[in-house]
Amino acid sequence: MPAALRPLALAAVLLAACTGEPTPEPATPGEPAPTPAPTAWQPVADLRADVDRDGVVELGEAGDDADEEMWTATRGALFLANLDDDGGRCAPATLPADVSDAQLAACHDASDDVVNGSQDALDLAPLRTVALPDAPEDAFATVQVVGTGAAYTRLFLRGSGTWRALAPDARVEAGLLRAGLELALEGRDVVRDSSAWDGSADVVLTLGRDGAPGEVLAEDRVRLKVAPVLTLSALQPVEALHVSDPGAAGGADEAAFFARLEQLREAAGISAPLLRHPSRDRWVQDFFEDAYMAVPAAGGRQHVMRVNLRSAEVYAPADPLAPLRSAGRVVYALRGPDVAALQQFQLEGATSSRTYNAMGNTETVPPYAGYPLGRHLRGSATGGAPDASFTRMLEAQGMQPPVYVDTSWLQVGHVDETLALLPSATAPRGWVLLAADPAGARAMFEDLQARGHGETRLFMGKAWRVNRQDVPAETTVTQVLARTDVLDASARAATGMEGQLAVLRRELVLTDAELVRAPFLFQPLGGKVTAFQPASANLVVLSRTDVAVADPHGPVVDGVDVFKAHLEAQLAPHGLRVHWVDDWNLFHRLTGNVHCGTNATRAVPESAWWNTAEASRQALRGSRAPSATRTDGPSH
């Protein structure tokens, strides 16, 4: 020891003797110095998420601290299933030509372990820890999702301005703890089967020290839940209309139909141009259903991710690459920033249930008492119910309990053949149900004949397509009433409609004042029935005041098409204007109408779903995470 330092060393020894602390033994030359015992430290584990749903994680207030381990009607943090494509790496054009349905579905932002830019970071649920400025150098933390939710989520930690995925056993060192951790939770999937996962993720922060190996000094946890996938009713404004465009294979009928829709969407105030998807499969309504997920954002806003639900229609069960209806791949062309695609199907029973899986067979009942986000309306049949796995996924969202009606008597088997839910300016609940009325249509024809209009013609200039040949469809009122096949099919349809309406009166608490009848006759086809006259129930709602309906080409008396006049008079009291569209060649004679040949992206409701306590109770029932074990440090 240098002579200059000896007085300091002697002073240290004397000080130790005065305080009663032992004099440290000098280290033996060549041996490592002993590890000092950890200094006293009272750690507090304090993990925060946006429990109060205001879009901000607060550290200095109690808003995000109380009841953070449980779910209630009004409290509990949310996270998104990060299934969009912010970086564009999953665009179909960038993938191999032989990419499979499974590969397309599996490619999204949550399929890698990186944050794909600042926009992707907004899709993650923020978490924070309260800073521990006195954390000693040998302190560390682990943060992990425990339980079933671990398989469906991923944690990220931000340090030095970048995000990195956090492995469950990864240690976070003292330097970051002192400043407070900035974390984010990524959802890797939606709830597909509530018996396998209820959507919850319990995130646990654990504090430890190197000097106390294996000992949990303090622990905190918070429960989050994945946002449900919600479909949209026709009460929501249209943001974009979709059609299939066959390109060079199209002709004058397509051109006229597109031009008419462009005219109507401008009149209805829809700013986006008509979205034409290249496909010779014309039934774009059946390809996908418009839906969304949403979580709180700062300033009382909501952060929305759109979700296009691909239909579970299996067209090629033996094809390992592309078993599903190929036109349904449009959901992946639409995928992008804040637009996700979701696919769910099973091969078992695919042949018998295929038609019931088309999205024309899944509609959304608008909100009403007890169901603040509405309900799904679906058609089914004994032995031909919709895909069981897709049904489980829809029902697992918990927010829009389904109503099923029998559509087995319909040749196509879709609810949109006979039913439509329309906005109403006068109905107490703001909407009405439009239902096919074959008995009413027959009565109208009989009335025309009784008033001397039996020779009045309908379907003028139109033709049926039979064995690839055009067969004139033009007929008279008397000839229609003489067709026993049409009358018998219409009687069968009338019985079927009474069955559907009995269910809807009960389930929707539907009154006669909320029911509007749409008269049209049916004809037999393939042992079932389909519309003989263009199905006026198969329409598209363009706005709260405008609907586009298939031109009935009905009998004209005194210059007025009686079927047009009847529907216009039925809908006018509800503030609805009818815009007629000629879809005979494109859709009607191929067993569909305007709704079947269009699709719509609708605006997300301005009122966030979690602000409805009733909705929260329905879907995200109160539950408590397993109790945290605190071996040291005060609770908070």
Domain boundary pick from 171, 204, 228: 228
- Give the per-residue pLDDT at 70: 82
| Lowest-confidence pick of 8-17, 72-81, 171-180, 384-393 | 8-17
| Beta pairing partners, 293 | 305
d(CA 600, CA 540): 9
| Range of 20-24, 31-35, 393-397 with top mean pLDDT | 393-397
Per-residue pLDDT at 214 exceeds 90 = no
Q: Are residues 328 and 343 in the same domain?
A: yes
Alpha helices in 28-142, H assignment, sequence order = 101-106, 118-121
- Is the distance from CB of 421 to CB of 371 less than 8 angstroms? no
- Give the per-residue pLDDT at 74: 83
- Give the per-residue pLDDT at 346: 93
| Backbone dihedral angles phi then psi of residue 356, each to the nearest 5 degrees | -75, -10
| Residue found by looking up tokens 């240290």 in the block | 12
Q: What is the pLDDT of residues 495-519, one digit of tens each?
A: 999 999 999 999 999 999 999 999 9
| Residue found by looking up tokens 């969009």 in the block | 84
- Give the per-residue pLDDT at 64: 77
Closest CA to 272 of 605, 600, 607: 600
Mean pLDDT confidence for 592-609 = 97
d(CA 478, CA 576): 32
Q: Residue 253: give its domain's CATH number.
A: 3.75.10.10
| CB burial of residue 120 (10 Å; 0-12, 13-18, 19+) | buried
Q: Let me know the angle formed at the C-alpha of 530 by 528 and 536, rounded to the nearest 5 degrees.
A: 150
Q: Are residues 243 and 145 in the same domain?
A: no
Q: Are residues 224 and 240 in the same domain?
A: no
Q: What is the pLDDT of residues 507-553, one digit of tens each?
A: 999 999 999 999 999 999 999 999 999 999 999 999 999 999 999 99
Q: Residue 152: give its domain's CATH number.
A: 2.60.40.1700
Given pLDDT bands bounded at 50, 70 and 90, which one contains residue 36?
low
- Give the per-residue pLDDT at 1: 38
Domain boundary pick from 180, 208, 228: 228
Closest CA to 227 of 127, 302, 333, 118: 302
Mean pLDDT confidence for 69-92 = 91
| Token pair listed for 18 | 């005065």
Per-residue pLDDT at 8 exceeds 60 = no
- The residue range of the domain holding 522 is 230-605
% pLDDT > 70, the chain? 90
- Give the per-residue pLDDT at 626: 45
Q: What is the pLDDT of residues 233-255, one digit of tens each?
A: 999 999 999 999 999 999 999 99
Q: What is the pLDDT of residues 447-494, one digit of tens each?
A: 999 999 999 999 999 999 999 999 999 999 999 999 999 999 999 999
d(CA 312, CA 322): 12
Residues contacting 353, CB < 8 A, separation 6+:
384, 385, 386, 387
- Give the per-residue pLDDT at 630: 31
Q: Are residues 248 and 188 in the same domain?
A: no
Q: Are residues 377 and 514 in the same domain?
A: yes
Mean pLDDT confidence for 386-406 = 95
pLDDT, averaged across the chain = 90
Given pLDDT bands bounded at 50, 70 and 90, which one contains residue 34?
low
Q: Are residues 266 and 160 in the same domain?
A: no
- Give the per-residue pLDDT at 39: 62
Per-residue pLDDT at 6 exceeds 50 = no
d(CA 349, CA 369): 36
Query: CA torsion, points 146, 147, 149, 153, in degrees to nearest 10?
Result: 30
Mean pLDDT confidence for 361-384 = 93
| Range of 13-27, 63-77, 365-379 with top mean pLDDT | 365-379
Q: Are residues 337 and 224 in the same domain?
A: no
The secondary structure element, H or E, covering residue 179 is helix 174-179
Q: Are residues 221 and 257 in the same domain?
A: no
Residue type (1 letter), 48: R
- Give the per-residue pLDDT at 32: 58
